[in-house]
A and B are shown apart, each in its own frame.
Chain A
């Protein structure tokens, strides 16, 4: 079976500024992959290239085995900013995205209500987005991607705006849900702990121009629980990734 996503040697520039310097990665069907890298390294840019929004100078993108450069609508996407239309209600925003992805209207309505309830936002279904806090908007944006029917889900720092407690709660919730459904996920995150807890594999990017510094398999079995945090293996892996991401390490590999 073809991988859900294959990125090969993608090079992306904005003017003279090289952002992606030959990035390759794969997400197998039903695999959870996290992408970690310093701020400004080009993680969001890579998702935009995968989603067909930004053209790449070089390289190949395959989604489900088929060439996908410049093709849009093939992934379920959660952008870094919540990106809710201010003139649509919370439920209306979810329904619109599902409608664009081809979900019938009645089904979209039902799903939106049901899942808003599951993330604790049942009372906000008919509210205008600006009346929600940043974290609440992010949860709406998250279930909007979750409900989109495409096989591959690309999440750009889905829990960035949440407080530590809600964040942990959402991580555990995503973990159990993912373990029940096993969908292909590419998750961008700044949190090493989050990546270790959730993923099968972690791809570490260098500072801009981004290239893959290291790929590591996460050895923990499933189902997992948040108790992992306390094991020595977890601490060891976390420290290893932390060392990779240290500015000195990134600068050294660059030779800059």
Chain B
């Protein structure tokens, strides 16, 4: 516990220092609040009775969308990887398509999805899914393939069938890889949600920031942004925590160092 604190305080101190410098600069140069509000002004603005409840509401909408899209995207990515891995020849057939799907800029998908799926939550969640599934599929495919050949040979030799090798060797081997894909997906998911909300619909932090921006409410733009950053970091921490709980068998040193799975 003490150890964690020792590792946690330097970045916190840097953040506090930056905030202090920011505050000082705004006061010293008397910068207009609609150009750059000071940290204390941002907090004061966010705490206003007509602002805070709305921030809360939009945050909830963003969190819900992100989690739904991320969960569905990770699920789809995992299943897709398993299918590609298990169907003979599918890996070779799917690889170029997977890369191709990544060359489509997501931003052009937004109007298309809006046309196809309307202005509700569906197009946003589909977009988040699309963004999340690729890193998961790629990482998972790597993990399923790159098993220790000695273990594979041993299991085959004692008579394990295809399914047993998948369930007992390939799948557990892929789990740490899956998590490195999951961490990337978690980071993408928040930005994608915010971008999707900016483009359409009437709720979420992306929508709220756009609205505040049009009304020159710079303090609220900053308040929303800070919440988005905090949420992103929370998602990252959550992914790391789940990984720690699930992958308990790894040597401590290897776990902390992570490993080079992924694209």
Number of A residues near B (Cβ < 8 Å) is 24
A86 to B147, CA, bound (A): 11
A100: contacting residue among B151, B155, B173, B250, CB under 8 A:
B155
Known: A85-B169, A87-B172. A72 touches B150 (CB 8 A): no
- Per-residue 0/1 for B169-209: is the Cβ within 8 Å of any A Cβ (1 yes, 0 no)? 10011010000000000000000000000000000000000
A72 to B156, CA, bound (A): 7
Task: Give the distance to chain B from A75, nearest Cβ to Cβ, in Å.
Answer: 8
A111 within 8 A of B: no
Stretch at the interface among B27-35, B157-165, B211-219, B224-232: B157-165
Closest to A145 in B: B158
A85 to B158, CA, bound (A): 14
Are B154 and A86 touching (Cβ within 8 A)? no
Q: Which of B238-261 contact A (CB under 8 A)?
A: 247, 249-251
Which residues on the A side are within 8 Å of B155 (C-beta)?
A: 100
B44 within 8 A of A: no
Which residues on the B side are within 8 Å of A86 (C-beta)?
A: 249-250
Are A77 and B158 touching (Cβ within 8 A)? yes
A81 to B152, CA, bound (A): 12
A101 to B159, CA, bound (A): 7
A65 within 8 A of B: no
Are B159 and A79 touching (Cβ within 8 A)? no
A241 within 8 A of B: no
Which residues on the B side are within 8 Å of A83 (C-beta)?
A: 150-151, 153-154
Interface of B is mostly: helix
A151 within 8 A of B: no
B168 within 8 A of A: yes
Are A148 and B249 touching (Cβ within 8 A)? no
Interface of A is mostly: loop
A51 within 8 A of B: yes
Task: Give the distance to chain B from A33, nearest Cβ to Cβ, in Å.
Answer: 19
Known: A53-B153, A96-B168. A130 touches B251 (CB 8 A): yes
Among B154, B155, B249, B250, find the residue whose CB has the most chain A CB atoms closer than 10 A. B154
Are B159 and A81 touching (Cβ within 8 A)? no
Are A48 and B151 touching (Cβ within 8 A)? no
Q: Which of A34-78 contact B (CB under 8 A)?
A: 48, 51-53, 72-77
A244 within 8 A of B: no
Which residues on the B side are within 8 Å of A73 (C-beta)?
A: 157-160
A115 within 8 A of B: no
A213 within 8 A of B: no
A97 within 8 A of B: yes
Which residues on the B side are within 8 Å of A100 (C-beta)?
A: 155, 158-160, 164
Are B159 and A48 touching (Cβ within 8 A)? no
Residues of B near any A CB (own CB < 8 A)? 150-151, 153-160, 164, 168-169, 172-173, 175, 247, 249-251
8 chain-A/chain-B pairs, Cβ below 8 angstroms: A52-B157, A74-B159, A79-B154, A85-B169, A86-B250, A87-B173, A88-B249, A128-B249
